[in-house]
Structure 1
Amino acid sequence: MAIKGSAGRGRAGTRWGYVVAAWGVVFAVPSFLWATGSTFGARSTVAPELVRLAQDRVPWFLAVLWVTGVLKLAGAAIGLGLTRLRSRRAARLLAFCGGGATILLVWHGGLFVVHGILAETGVIPVSADLVPLTRWYLYLWGPWFIAGGLAFATATARHLHLHLHDDRRRARHLTTAGALGALLLSLASTVTGIG
């Protein structure tokens, strides 16, 4: 009986890894679509200057879209990795990546939501033609990033509980290191205006 219950808890813990994987694949689709020249969904949900870059087929921007799509698929692969124990080293690497993805996504989504709220309440001015776009970032992109980050957080926590429970201190250090690295990367991106 105890073994069966433990297996049930293990399966329940891995579901979040599958949620992360599905989230990553769904999130990669627009990047690949826009990289191939389609602007489906981009005109109303993405900044006009980015749509122009995609329409004009600017090589460096297309490369960014392809790389972004691949990174999103890598996130999906990490989600799948969080569903199983491959080795102690892999489990630790996944804890590091999961912690980093959590912070990066929640931070990025949070910036969209805060900016949207400030724009909606009139604290920061937004030109009338950008109000609909700001709402897309507030109601779609921000929550989407945050949802992905929370899914990563849950999948990583379950992974730690199921596979690294005897080495929790080291696993927490790795997860924290990944989170801090992602936060520094995101802050650098925000300060430099890249990303």
Structure 2
Amino acid sequence: MALNRDPGFIPVVWATGVVKLGGVLLLLCLIRSRSSCTKIRRWLSFICISAGIFMILCGVGNFITISLAAINVLDFDLDTYAIKWRLLFWEPFWVIGGSFYVLAGFSKK
């Protein structure tokens, strides 16, 4: 969709960029939280752990479905280059990133 320059897809790309920046702000707030604000720190930790678990589940789920598409169990319109790119980089990136979010959340509790 990005290659076709679909005008309806551009807001989706911008929205995902804003969500990703929100994740960075979440981690920065977690780093900057002071010990005197335990309630805020607990909420930030909870949100960080929840986001990390979601990222891990999303990465693992996509890895499984794309792996099934690679062995022709599922019928996706993905070329070999896209399958390799997603299986070797993109989905592991989400799993590792989610793991770091969970670790960051537990380190501030």
TM range (shorter): 0.7 to 0.9
- Provide runs of 4+ in structure 1 moved above 6 Å: none
How far apart in 1 are the matches of 2:97 and 2:48?
A: 11
How far apart in 2 are the matches of 1:50 and 1:111?
A: 23
CA RMSD for the aligned pairs? 2.0
Partner of 2:47: 97
Over the matched positions of the two proteins, sequence identity in percent amounts to 28
Structure 1 residue 125: deviation in Å? 4.2
Q: Deviations over 1:27-47 (max 9, x none)?
A: xxxxxxxxxxxxxxxxxxxxx
TM-score, length-normalised on structure 2?
0.81
3-state SS in 1 of match to 2:79: helix
Contact residue 49 and residue 106 of structure 2 kept, 8 A: no
How far apart in 1 are the matches of 2:65 and 2:48?
A: 26
Structure 2 spans left out of the alignment, 5+ residues: none
Structure 1 residue 88: deviation in Å? 2.0
Q: Which moved more, 1:138-147 or 1:90-99?
A: 90-99
Structure 1 residue 143: deviation in Å? 0.7
TM-score, length-normalised on structure 1?
0.49
Is 1:113–2:63 an aligned residue pair?
yes
Query: What count of residue pairs does the alignment treat as equivalent?
Result: 107
Partner of 1:74: 22
Query: Which structure: greater helix fraction?
Result: 1
How far apart in 1 are the matches of 2:2 and 2:64?
A: 21
Matches within 5 A, 1:33-182: 49-52=1-4, 55-56=5-6, 58=7, 60-86=8-34, 87-126=37-76, 130-160=79-109
Structure 1 spans left out of the alignment, 5+ residues: 1-48, 161-195
Structure 1 residue 126: deviation in Å? 4.9
